Copies of this chain bind each other. A is one copy, B any other.
Amino acid sequence: MNAIEQKPQESLQESLQQVQRLIARHKLVEGLVHKQDMPKHDLVETLVHRQNLVELQHKLDLLHPADIAHILEALPLDERLLVWDLVKAERDGDILLEVSDAVRETLLAHMDSDEILAAAEQLDADEIADLAPDLPQAVVHELMDSLDKEERAQVQSALSYDEHQVGGIMDFEMVTIRDDVSLEVVLRYLRRFEELPNHTDKLFVVDKSDILKGILPLKRLLVNDPDMMVVDIMAQDVVTFRPEEDAGDAAQAFERYDLISAPVVDKQGKLIGRLTVDMMVDIIREDAENEMLNLAGLREDEDLFSSVWASAKNRWPWLAINICTAFVASRVIGAFENTISSLVALSTLMTIVAGIGGNTGNQTSTLIIRGLALNQINASNARRLIIKELGIALLNGLVWGSVMGLIAWLLYKQVSLGLVMMAAMVLNFQVAALVGIFVPLTMHKMGRDPAFGSSVLLTATTDSMGFFIFLGLATAFLL
């Protein structure tokens, strides 16, 4: 008996490094061959050249599609396409499903219609629907023609929902049974399958119009007497989803109720599809990542090795907004140029007031954004939250305001300057807390992602208000 094979993920980092080494060697030899203008007699080098590629291809054949996808993500464009060409055509479809949108675009751009068609034909209806938006129109049409009637209907159904809806991510591989048979009959029925769909942890019990009556978990099928009837064993309190529901909400439900798969039903209760936990895990990861990217002011997922030009454009919208807000904040200072010229120390201290305000506001807004994402904040508890955050801001403002006030006093030997510094910090902490709460709450009420833009709006306000409060107080009390 063989021992258990080496588990693949232990060597994923190593696999990447091996592939990188093989590519480097290949490039080196190719460079030599090119330099010598390809002398046909130099068989050794041509052989070495081919040998490297064969070794690389062999390495790739041994890898799981998800691991190849991972490696493709980590390679610069030229090396990525070299690897992509070496991957066996019948695995293209699976790998395309695993890579990120940004990397998928680079791969598809490199394939001709026939290659894309061949790759897509390996896939199930729901997977074709996932890829379709990234494919050229002509290829999609040809692909649809190649499907049978049922599959075409499934692809069209999936395409009628967007990818943020349950209908856009459900699959159609369900095992359905009737409730008036015995478990023995179900067991015999299952043995007629070549294999069961992935993530089958339950069978769906439907009537003859496909109306969902309940579910039969495999766990129950296996522990109960084969003479029992499905109707007596099946569970009827089923978590079901509607195709128009939000995919993120469905993912949270999967997480909360520890589901592996769940039925999707239409308004009449008819079973039309199935959700599985693997999709939900992807959604949870992607949602969290997008939130982070949005917070940093990146429009969308960025290929690590996209061109400078494409990356720069991805970052422009937010930089442009930031330039505007920074300009407004600087005009606030501009309005006080007379004050500053009579007391230059102000120009030094004002940046502290503004900077710390932005930082404390970001802490508040991050907690609010997280609470909103987890559906923990509503009208009834928002007031308590606001009072709490203002309280923290007052406490922190007094503590750190005193510290900085003291330092300002010591630095510039002027008590009044220290007092103005402290007052400005206390006030700007209050502004930061209010903005940190209300910007995400308002975004959320308007139906937008609260992470999107919160940070920029917040810093814009704490900067401008910080300068205004500090320089305003200085103008009033120090001149």
Q: Which A residues are closer than 8 A to B by beta carbons? A: 1-5, 7-9, 12-13, 16-17, 20, 24, 64, 66-67, 70, 73-76, 179, 187, 190-191, 193-196, 198-201, 212-214, 218-220, 222-225, 231, 236-241, 249, 252-258, 260, 265, 269, 277-278, 280-282, 284-285, 288-289, 291-293, 295-298, 302, 304-305, 308-309, 311-312, 315-316, 318-320, 322-323, 326-327, 329-331, 333-334, 337, 340-341, 344-345, 347-352, 354-356, 359-360, 362-363, 365-367, 369-371, 374-378, 380-381, 384-385, 388, 391-392, 395-396, 399-400, 403-404, 407, 411, 456, 459, 463, 467
Contact = CB atoms under 8 A, between A and B. Distances in A.
Contacts of A193: 222-223
Nearest to A365: B296
A244 to B, nearest CB: 12
Given A249-B9, A327-B352, A269 B4 contact: yes
A196 B222 contact: yes
Given A199-B260, A257-B64, A374 B73 contact: yes
Contact of A213 (B1, B257, B289, B302): B1
* 7 nearest CB pairs, A to B: A288-B288, A296-B366, A347-B347, A9-B253, A308-B391, A66-B256, A74-B376
Nearest to A4: B238
A331 B412 CA distance: 12
Given A196-B222, A257-B66, A370-B293, A236 B285 contact: no
B363 A348 contact: no
Given A13-B375, A213-B1, A254-B281, A74 B347 contact: no
Nearest to A346: B347
Given A359-B318, A400-B323, A351 B367 contact: no
A377 to B, nearest CB: 7
A101 to B, nearest CB: 14
- Which one of A67, A319, A331, A456 has the highest number of Cβ atoms from chain B below 10 Å of its Cβ? A319
Given A254-B281, A330-B352, A351-B467, 11 more contacts: A4-B213, A4-B265, A9-B249, A73-B376, A196-B219, A293-B370, A305-B384, A311-B388, A315-B360, A326-B351, A340-B344
Contacts of A254: 281
A224 to B, nearest CB: 7
Contact of A351 (B354, B400, B403): B354
B20 A381 contact: yes
Contact of A281 (B219, B255, B354): B255
Contacts of A66: 256-257
Contacts of A340: 340, 344, 347
A374 B288 CA distance: 13
Contacts of A292: 288, 291-292, 295, 366, 369-370
Contacts of A198: 258
11 contacts: A8-B253, A9-B239, A66-B256, A218-B218, A277-B277, A295-B366, A304-B376, A309-B395, A329-B351, A340-B347, A351-B463
Contact of A323 (B76, B281, B356, B388): B356
